[in-house]
């Protein structure tokens, strides 16, 4: 056997489903050389790690708003009255949720 330009082997174990997923992606790309594909992905592939504190904020705002709605519903069932202050509070909470949602979507849209 002649000299190899890449003499160092790297062994990789995968499950059947992982192998199928790799083969599907290779087919989409139009290549049948798994070594070249895996080498290219290992060197040039992107890893995206999303740390989104905005998502935690949205979740917190949704919990807060849900609690407010539940309290208002209980009051409305008990007294058959809904106060405009309660509705304004819910509207304010929803405005915060939408603002946080829009900020998160803009941040996600900026990911290359």
Give the model's pLDDT for residue 23.
94
Per-residue model confidence (pLDDT) at position 100? 84
Give the Cβ contact number of residue 44 at 10 Å.
Answer: 7
Residue 81 pLDDT more than 80? no
CB atoms within 10 A of CB 31: 12
In this prediction, residue 38 carries a pLDDT of 93
The average confidence (pLDDT) of the chain is 84
Q: What is the pTM of this model?
A: 0.43
For the chain, the distance separating the N- and C-terminal CA atoms, rounded to the nearest angstrom, is 43
Q: How confident is the model at residue 49 (pLDDT cuts 50, 70, 90)?
A: low
Instruction: Spell out the long-range contacts of 72-78 with Cβ–Cβ below 8 A and sequence spacing 24 or more.
Output: none
The gap from C-alpha 56 to its chain's centroid, in whole angstroms, comes to 12
* Domain layout of the chain by residue ranges: 10-45, 53-109
Helix/strand/coil for 55: helix
3-state secondary structure 14-25: CCHHHHHHHHHH
Between 57 and 39, the more confident residue is 39
Q: Say yes or no to pLDDT of 17 above 90.
A: yes
SS3 64: helix
């Amino acid at each position: 056997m002649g000299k190899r330009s890449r003499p160092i082997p790297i062994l990789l174990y995968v499950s059947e489903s992982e192998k199928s997923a790799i083969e599907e992606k290779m087919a989409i790309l139009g290549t049948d050389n798994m070594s070249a594909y895996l080498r290219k992905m290992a060197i040039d592939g992107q890893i995206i790690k999303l740390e989104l504190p905005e998502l935690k904020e949205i979740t917190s705002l949704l919990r807060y708003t849900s609690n407010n709605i539940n309290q208002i519903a209980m009051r409305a069932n008990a007294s058959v009255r809904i106060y405009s202050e309660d509705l304004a509070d819910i509207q304010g909470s929803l405005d915060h949720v939408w603002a946080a949602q829009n900020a998160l979507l803009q941040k996600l849209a900026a990911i290359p």
